[in-house]
Amino acid sequence: MSIPSKVKIIDVGPRDGLQNEKEPVPAAVKVELVHRLQDAGLKEIEVTSFVSPKWVPQMADNAEVMAGIQRKPGVRYSVLTPNMKGFEAAVLSKPDEIVVFGAASEAFSQKNINCSIEESIERFRPVAAAAKAAGIAVRGAISCAVGCPYEGEIAPERVALVARLMKDIGVEHVGVADTIGVGTPLKVQRAMDATLQYYNVDEISGHFHDTYGMALANTLACLEMGIWHYDTSSAGLGGCPYAKGATGNVATEDVVYLLHGMGIETGIDLDKLIDAGKFISDFLQRKPHSRAANALLTKRLG
């Protein structure tokens, strides 16, 4: 398999990035971040999630954020929906894609969505069917695909099992997620190989949190397998509320710098992307969690 010449980035910053912020981020700021990302050339943006506001208070303004976005043609706006209640609320906001999120670890499934892996699939089944009937694309996420904060290392067979279950219920595309960023290239490749038993190379994304600084290496390892979709987060924002200590997704800026440096097309304007990351980082009163963004921001100062 040769390295792809084009890569599609799904910026999950507004959702995965912001969901764990303790202080409320106003809907208008989230909307502005989405606008800046689409202006930077992002074609897929994970905007918010329709989950319990008691569990994830930061996403309670989901409908308001979706309503505030001035949609740009050609951009796909996705939202997380863990069950029919979430889907029914989400559908009013007209997402282009919904995301069901399961896990390869039983313990993480319980902590994150309060049910077993098997129960989660039964919750996702009607969601996937209803989405398809409404002409909405269906993506899935497989959390803890290499390691779990509660169970430790996760065998590739467990990933294959969830991939099979997701395929069975009509999930069209899956993100293989290293939720806590413990993966290293060969382990991540094994999780991808497991998923490739049920999904083809065009239907899989890499979703790497960067807790141990391995996310770029893992991205490169997946590029070598021909994987060309990646979930990344503007300014490296984020972390999962049910994965203590895990940091954000790999920064979109870092991945774009890597890809452009390798001559791989993304359609993204790195300067505008850096401005988007700077905007949200300024709001949060911190520096972007992106080596490339900070280097290029310093360089701008001359």
Site residues (vs ligand HMG, CB under 6 A) = 16, 19, 49-52, 55-56, 80, 82-83, 85-86, 101, 112-114, 141, 143, 177, 179, 207, 209, 240-242
Task: Name the token pair of 116.
Answer: 């077993």
Min CB(204)–Mg ion separation in Å: 15
Min CB(240)–Mg ion separation in Å: 6
The residue with tokens 């991205």 is: 219
Work out the number of other CB atoms within 10 angstroms of the CB of residue 262: 13
Q: Which amino acid is at 117?
A: I
Min CB(38)–ligand HMG separation in Å: 21
Nearer to Mg ion, 128 or 250 (CB): 250
Binding site for Mg ion (CB under 5 A): 16
Nearer to ligand HMG, 189 or 249 (CB): 249
174 binds, among Mg ion, ligand HMG, none (CB under 5 to 8 A by kind): none
Residues classed as catalytic: 240
Q: Do 139 and 98 form a contact (C-beta atoms < 8 A)?
A: yes
Min CB(62)–ligand HMG separation in Å: 9
101 binds, among Mg ion, ligand HMG, none (CB under 5 to 8 A by kind): ligand HMG
276 binds, among Mg ion, ligand HMG, none (CB under 5 to 8 A by kind): none
Nearer to ligand HMG, 134 or 262 (CB): 134
CA distances to 102, 135, 159, 189 from 128, rounded to whole Å, are 13, 11, 19, 27
Say which residues have a Cβ less than 8 Å from residue 179's Cβ, sequence separation at least 6.
103, 108, 143, 144, 145, 147, 148, 149, 209, 240, 243, 246
Strand 147-148 and strand 152-153: pairing?
antiparallel
Cα(first)–Cα(last) distance of the chain, in Å? 41
Nearer to ligand HMG, 117 or 274 (CB): 117
